[in-house]
Amino acid sequence: MEKMTLQKFEEASEKVKEVTNSTNLVYSEFFSAQSGNKVYFKPENMQYTGAYKVRGAYYKISTLSDEERSKGLITASAGNHAQGVAYAAKIYGCKAVIVMPTTTPLIKVNRTKSYGAEVVLYGNVYDEACEYAMKLAKEHGYTFIHPFNDLDVATGQGSIAMEIIK
The CATH number given to whatever domain includes residue 36 is 3.40.50.1100
Sign of CA dihedral 80, 43, 19, 159: negative
**Number of neighbours of residue 146 by Cβ within 10 angstroms:** 19
Note the pTM of the prediction, 2 decimals: 0.93
Provide φ and ψ at 96, rounded to 5°.
Answer: -130, 130
For strand 40-41 and strand 26-27, is the pairing parallel, antiparallel, or unpaired? antiparallel
Domain range for 87 is: 1-166
pLDDT in tens, the chain (166 residues): 678 899 999 999 999 999 999 999 999 999 999 999 999 999 999 999 999 999 999 999 999 999 999 999 999 999 899 999 999 999 999 999 999 999 999 999 999 999 999 999 999 999 999 999 999 999 999 999 999 999 999 999 999 999 999 8
Could you give the number of structural domains in the chain? 1
Spatial separation of the C-alpha atoms in residues 73 and 84, rounded to whole Å: 12
Would you state the pLDDT for residue 4?
A: 86
> Order of strands across the sheet with 96-100?
118-121, 96-100, 73-76, 143-144
